[in-house]
Chain A
Amino acid sequence: MNDMTPTREQREAALEGMGCKRKRVEDVRFTQGKGQYVDDLKLPGMVFGDFVRSPYAHAKVTKIDATEALKIPGVIAVLTAEDLKGVNLAWMPTLAGDVQMVLADGKVLYQNQEVAFVVAEDRYIADDAIQLVEVEYEELPVLVDPFQSMAPDAPVLRPDLEGKTEGAHGPRKHHNHIFNWGVGDKDETAKAFSEADVTIKELISYHRTHPSPLETCQCVASMDKVKGELTVYGTFQAPHVIRTVASLLSTIPEHKIHVIAPDIGGGFGNKVGAYPGYICAIVASIVTGIPVKWVEDRMENLSTTSFARDYHMTTEIAAKNDGTVTGLKVHVLADHGGFDACADPSKWPAGFFNIVTGSYDFPTAHLEVDGVYTNKAPGGVAYRCSFRVTEAAYCIERAMDILAQKLDMDPADLRLKNFVKPEQFPYQSALGWEYDSGDYHTAMHKAMDTIGYRELRAEQKAKQEAFKRGETREIMGIGVSFFTEIVGAGPSKNCDILGVAMFDSAEIRVHPTGSVISRMGTKSQGQGHETTWAQIIATEIGIPAADIMVEEGNTDTAPYGLGTYGSRSTPVAGAAIALAARKIRNKAQMIAAHMLEVSEYDLEWDIDGFQVKGNPQARKSMKEIAWAAYHAPPPNMEPGLEAVSYYDPPNMTYPFGAYFCVMDIDVDTGVAKTRRFYALDDCGTRINPMIIEGQVHGGLTEAFAIAMGQEITYDEMGNVMGASFMDFFIPTAVETPHWETDHTVTPSPHHPIGAKGVGESPNVGGVPAFSNAVNDAFQFMGSTHIQMPHDAWRIWQAAKDLGAHG
């Protein structure tokens, strides 16, 4: 060996494989403004569509007159529900088994609902025309409060469902009832409560908010009438599913529909579903044969396409005097708005909310969820979380604090006492999940030691005494949160979308010169797949990540997959990538054996090639093998070097983490300042620690926003309040706390590379940490629960109600 021969470490480093803090390759174009987003598309002859929307939350639509609008030069068409009926698209199916109006069919159910679709030569003309479409409304009584939805005299929101006593998920017990979903052992749980030393009960509400990605929802539909082919460019988190749905609805054969998701500016669940804008643009292009672009503005995005949360969770825990939990009972009232358009796997009307037992060993539990209609926008998407997992984590983490308070126990100690123990994994939860792996105690102790938990408690005690003596108007809260997520939907045994099993896929092709093109069924919206997928392949087949191109989002070229949301990409597609890569490595081994004239069993893998066992000088690098695959493959072997893998995961993955928030609150103004925020995440094997850190920072910033003020509210008339960035809280760098991140590594035993999802953990675990900090600060005044969001005036109000203003 001469001096120029790279060492094993150098060869390994050259790969930039798993574990490497590789810089994001996509950022080269994003940071130069060279990303290609939907609104960057300019097709020849393209026209624009925009909506006439309802000013009322609940009204009959008695007349739509577009005469004046159509007189404006450049206005091409004004579509109404009547026009869509001609193509059977006035209504569309939702992912939750309901139907939803595409355009108002006789009535509107929420403010800003789509009433008519104006198509014009440019956006300016379209907006002018909207002002001239005359719509006559007859106002109806408005239902805003979900707790009033099932009152006997509540207004009928959905006359289309009249007489339907059976919904998509079982019996409906009221005209505004959507479903009742129950899981767990009701009798055993009742018994646990009757035998308990201590019980707590609290209504814990998680308010309505919105994912609000930087780029709103948009699409360009282009029908080629000659070829009979439809191309749709759109902000789609799940392009293949969109194509299947488009084919089913339009009756255009699936192979003649091309769905392309270009660069996407954030999704967070907002871009999973199908919206009236897509349908109208597609119909308009099919009818006119010219490309039609539809782009939401910010107010439309916040007020119509997909809210998140709005869960009202009555939570009870039974426990022994020593703090051991013995039972959990939760009833959820879920506000779904005017249509049930929840984006959950089809069999799960409340998503995976039954992860609500959290990180604790509850011997028994019972959960019931009732979904109801109100005069609000539809949605119920998983805003940076696996389906309804943020709600579940908030519910249990808040409830554990309330129990600790009742028992006069430290909330961290109560959690340590009740954690599922390392030797209990795989762990069967009382509500039906099998947790794959975890070491909660190690993570919790590491977090407590790092943040100096006991010292902080002592400081808090001293500050409380000083407050009581009148020496300060500031109080201190310590928020504890220990979450367990369930991500990676999902195993075909329990997860499908409209009947399509929730597998995912990867296709890898090694070129003769040893570079690679790879395509997946997922779709990055900022997660950095182009970087991390290449790292998995690099480690698995020994080709530098820099030589691997990753492509997603084009349904013509990418293998079928269910897309990116619910932290499913790494658990599902990540596994498919590793398995496809291993198929390539297996073939490469046979080629190398042929080249080295040994048996393949005499070879061993070493970083970037195969070497003869005991004789590492005799080796063939992956580059050499790739050339041989095309140049001189072994006799009787197909040439080429490529593989496809479709992966149906055996189980979900269960990331977890310990988060601590230290907060100082000005009792006189209600202003809360986060002094420290520490987040320890365990997502199993870490593919790119820098991307993980970035994901955690982003999710924590969203969690901070949600807990401390971000909400979509309605007044009693059903007017949506604050659907602009004036009021909808998006923190800037000034408000955002400093994040301290940390980790432990407990690999998933069933995942080929041991990885779990991570992108959503910080949102799931962050919200309870912030809310528990606020609640913890006021406990010494006798408070048990203060509802989110914790913006300054609500904190001030809580302080006032507790008598803290003298």
Chain B
Amino acid sequence: MIPGEFTYHRPSSVAEAVAILVSHGDEARPLSGGHSLIPMMKLRMAAPEHLVDLAGIADLKGISESGDNIVIGAMTTQNELINSALLTEKLPIIRETSLLIADPQIRYVGTLGGNVANGDPGNDMPALMQCLNASYVLAGPDGEREVAAREFYEAAYFTALAPEELLTAVKIPVPPAGHGFAYEKLKRKVGDYATAAAAVVLTMNGSSVDFCSIALTNVSDTPLYAGDASAILTGSTLDSDTIKRAVAAAEAITDPASDARGPAEYRTKMAGIMLQRALTRAAERANR
């Protein structure tokens, strides 16, 4: 449980960090909260020769509103997400989800950028970002580009992020005021990854659903945006038959691993149950 040797870098700007990544290519890894990378290094499953600590880059911090978007710096910690008045008002599902990540000690250090960039299907934020249709700002040697969260994830730990690129911010379109939301997570204990989890954001017009977006955590090797399920529910009155069809559509796109959290069949079914419960809660919270 001791990592191999590495050189530690602590750049103070994004440009400096990118330059280090460019000069070392595959041998370098950016370090944000470190909760995934450091254990992997201790197990020697990851052995980067250069560790680029992003903690000294002030530009990667902070939460702000910019037009119709909320922009969150990659190094913003989960604890900062929880305590942001702006997020609590405009995007309360981020606070709800953050509170279900690990435990307070980890949330003081763990960051949004690290959580979404690492490509670990167990992380909660990637599915939430897909649900919210967020996009990621990636800075590389040739400048910045944006990639939608729904396009970012390729396989477990494989993403659209190039080795010389840095994820610097997350841009989230603000959902309409009065939207309903819920993140339902089944886990074995505090600190565990989800057995299955579902994120739901919806708006109601009277008794029918105006808009609905659903994504699932840890039931495939990537987070899953459940587009079909979302479409089935849009325009419905959330009657039990429609919910049943939507749940079936969501379950159909899952492909979980069998592990100590349970066999694949269980985890698929739990994704369905979490979705049902998230829908119920989201609908209760939505203005009509």
Whether the Cβ atoms of A131 and B44 lie closer than 8 Å is yes
Cβ of A601 < 8 Å from any Cβ of B? no
Near A by CB (< 8 A), chain B positions 68-115 give 103
Q: Is the CB of B189 within 8 A of A729?
A: yes
Q: Which of B188, B195, B262, B273 has the most CB of A within 10 A?
A: B188
Say whether A732 contacts B190, CB under 8 Å: yes
B241 sits at the interface (CB 8 A): no
A187 at the interface (CB under 8 A from B): no
When the two chains form their complex, are residues A735 and B186 in contact, meaning their CB atoms are under 8 A apart? no
Would you call A298 and B195 a contact (CB within 8 A)? no
Q: How far is the CB of B287 from chain A (nearest CB, A)?
A: 29
> Among B5, B188, B191, B266, which residue has its beta carbon within 8 angstroms of that of A709?
B188
Do A734 and B263 have beta carbons less than 8 Å apart? no
Contact in complex: A796, B189 (CB < 8 Å): no
Let me know if A721 is at the binding interface, CB within 8 A.
yes
In the complex the two chains form, is B189's CB within 8 Å of A727's CB? no
| Interface flag for A793 (CB, 8 Å) | yes
Nearest residue in B to A298 (C-beta to C-beta)? B1
A731 to B4 Cα, complex, angstroms:
32
Partner of B262 from the list A124, A299, A713, A793 (CB cut-off 8 Å) is A793
CA of A181 to CA of B95 in the docked complex: distance in angstroms?
Answer: 59
Residues of B241-282 contacting chain A, CB below 8 A: 259-263, 266, 269-270, 273
Quick one: given A124-B2, A727-B260, are A734 and B189 in contact (CB under 8 Å)?
yes
With A727-B260, A793-B263: A669-B186 Cβ-Cβ less than 8 Å? yes
Contacting residues, chain B, for A128 (C-beta < 8 A): 4-5
Report A696 CB to chain B, min CB distance, Å.
22
CB proximity of B235 to chain A, nearest CB, Å: 27
Q: Please encode chain A, from 708 to 749, with 1 for each CB lying within 8 Å of some chain B CB and 0 for all others.
A: 010001000000011000110101101100000000000000
B262 to A792, Cβ gap below 8 A? yes
Q: Which residues of B contact A791 (CB under 8 A)?
A: 188, 262
> What CA separation (Å) do A316 and B190 show in the bound complex?
40
**Does A797 sit at the interface, judged by CB under 8 A?**
yes
A671–B191 Cα distance when bound, in Å, is 17
Bound form: Cα–Cα A445–B274 in Å: 43
Please give the distance in Å from B264's CB to the nearest CB on chain A: 11
Instruction: Give the interface size bracket for A toward B.
Output: 20 to 34
Complex Cα spacing A631 to B266, Å: 78
Contacts of A98 in B (CB 8 A): none
Contact A792–B195 (Cβ < 8 Å): yes
Q: A262 vs B266: C-alpha distance in the bound complex, in angstroms?
A: 47
Interface string of A791-806 (1 = CB under 8 A from B): 1110011000000000
Closest to A473 in B: B273
CB neighbours (8 Å) of B269 from chain A are 796
Which A268-314 residues have C-beta < 8 A from chain B? 297-299
Q: Are B190 and A123 in contact (CB under 8 A)?
A: no
Q: In chain B between 167 and 192, which residues have their CB closer than 8 angstroms to a CB of chain A?
A: 186, 188-192
Q: Tell me the bound Cα distance from A299 to B43 in angstroms.
A: 10
Cβ-defined contact, B2 with A123, below 8 A: yes
Do residues A732 and B188 form an inter-chain contact, with CB atoms below 8 A?
Answer: no
| A668 sits at the interface (CB 8 A) | yes
Contact A797 B266, beta carbon cutoff 8 Å? yes
Q: Is A434 an interface residue, CB under 8 A from the partner?
A: no
- A127-B2, A721-B260, A793-B261 known; A734-B190 Cβ under 8 A: yes
Q: What is the distance, in angstroms, from B276's C-beta to the closest C-beta of chain A?
A: 9
Q: Hey, which chain B residues are within 8 Å of A734, CB to CB?
A: 189-190
Contact A669 B273 (CB under 8 A): yes
> Which residue of chain A lies nearest to B5 when distances are taken between CB atoms in the complex?
A128
A101 CA / B266 CA spacing, docked (Å): 41
Bound-complex Cα distance A741 to B5 (A): 52
B230 CB to closest chain A CB (Å) equals 23
Q: Which residue of A lies closest to B42 (CB)?
A: A297
Q: Are B1 and A297 in contact (CB under 8 A)?
A: yes
Over the window 575-608 of chain A, the binary record of Cβ atoms lying under 8 Å from chain B Cβ atoms (1 yes, 0 no) is: 0000000000000000000000000000000000
A202 to B57, CA, bound (A): 64
A795 to chain B, nearest CB (A): 10
Q: Annotate A24-68 by CB proximity to B: 1 below 8 A, 0 otherwise.
A: 000000000000000000000000000000000000000000000
Q: How far is the CB of A668 from chain B (nearest CB, A)?
A: 5
CB atoms of A735 and B190 under 8 A apart: yes
Which B187-203 residues sit within 8 Å CB-CB of chain A?
A: 188-192, 195
B residues near A732, Cβ cutoff 8 Å: 103, 189-191
State in angstroms the CA–CA spacing of A669 and B197 once bound together: 12
CB of A578, distance to nearest CB on chain B (Å): 43
Q: Tell which of A127, A131, A727, A793 touches B266, judged by Cβ atoms closer than 8 Å.
A: A793
Taking the closest CB of chain A, its distance from the CB of B44, in whole angstroms, is: 7
> Could you say which residues of chain A place their CB within 8 Å of the CB of B103?
732
Chain B proximity of A716: nearest CB distance (Å): 13
With the chains together, A587 CA to B5 CA distance in Å? 66
Contact B1 A792 (CB under 8 A): no
User: Inside 8 A of A669's CB, which chain B residues have their CB?
Assistant: 186, 270, 273
A726 proximity list for chain B (CB < 8 A)? 192
Docked CA distance A793–B262 (Å): 5
Cross-chain contact B186 with A729 (CB below 8 angstroms): no
Distance between B191 CB and nearest chain A CB, rounded to angstroms: 7
Residue from B4, B186, B260, B263 having most chain A Cβ neighbours under 10 A: B260
Contact of A792 (CB < 8 Å), options: B188, B191, B259: B188
CB of A671 within 8 A of CB of B5, answer: no
The residues of A that contact B259 with a CB separation of less than 8 Å are 727
CB of B189 within 8 A of CB of A731, answer: yes
For chain A residues 405-421, which have a beta carbon within 8 Å of chain B?
none
Determine the chain A residues whose CB is within 8 A of the CB of B1 once the complex forms: 127, 297-299
Nearest A residue (CB) for B44: A131
For residue B189, which residues in chain A have a CB less than 8 angstroms away from its CB? 729, 731-732, 734-735
Q: Please give, as numbers and ranges, the residues of chain B lying within 8 Å of A731 by CB-CB distance.
A: 189
- A726–B120 Cα distance when bound, in Å, is 15
Task: Give the CA-CA distance A735 to B189 in the complex, in Å.
Answer: 7
Smallest beta-carbon distance A792→chain B, Å: 7
Kindly provide the distance from the CB of B143 to the nearest chain A CB, expressed in whole angstroms. Answer: 39
Cross-chain contact B186 with A671 (CB below 8 angstroms): yes
CA separation between A669 and B259, bound complex, in Å?
16
Q: From residue A440, how far is it (CB to closest CB) to chain B in Å? A: 35
A756 to B1, CA, bound (A): 42
CB under 8 Å from chain A, chain B span 147-182: none
Q: Contacts of A722 on B, CB cut-off 8 Å?
A: 260
Chain B residues with CB under 8 A of A796: 262, 266, 269
Closest CB of chain A to B16's CB: distance in Å? 28
The B-contacting residues of A in range 381-423, CB under 8 angstroms, are none
Q: Which residue of A lies closest to B263 (CB)?
A: A793
Closest to A297 in B: B1
Q: How far is the CA of A721 from the CA of B191 in the complex (A)?
A: 19
Look across to chain A and name the residue whose beta carbon is closest to the beta carbon of B272.
A668
- In the complex, the chain B residue whose C-beta lies closest to that of A122 is B2
Chain B, Cβ-Cβ closest to A300: B1
Shortest Cβ gap from B21 to chain A (Å): 25
Residues from 461 to 477 in A contacting B, C-beta threshold 8 Å: none
Closest residue of chain B to A708 (Cβ to Cβ) is B188
List, in ascending order, chain A residues with CB within 8 A of B262's CB: 791-793, 796
Task: Point out the residues of chain B lying under 8 angstroms from A124, CB to CB.
Answer: 2
Q: How far is the CA of A123 from the CA of B261 in the complex (A)?
A: 34
Alpha-carbon distance A671/B196, docked complex (angstroms): 13
Rounded to whole angstroms, the CA-CA distance of A284 and B5 in the bound complex is: 26
Q: Can you list the 3 inter-chain pairs with the closest CB atoms, starting with the nearest?
A: A793-B262, A127-B2, A727-B260
A sample of 16 inter-chain contacts (CB < 8 A) reads A127-B1, A127-B2, A131-B4, A131-B44, A669-B186, A669-B273, A713-B260, A721-B260, A731-B189, A732-B189, A732-B190, A732-B191, A793-B261, A793-B262, A796-B269, A797-B263
A interface, CB within 8 angstroms of B: 123-124, 127-128, 131, 297-299, 668-671, 709, 713, 721-722, 726-727, 729, 731-732, 734-735, 791-793, 796-797
Add 18 more A-B contacts to A709-B188, A792-B262 (CB < 8 A). Answer: A128-B4, A131-B44, A298-B1, A299-B1, A669-B270, A669-B273, A670-B266, A671-B186, A729-B188, A732-B189, A732-B191, A734-B190, A791-B262, A792-B186, A793-B261, A793-B262, A796-B262, A797-B263
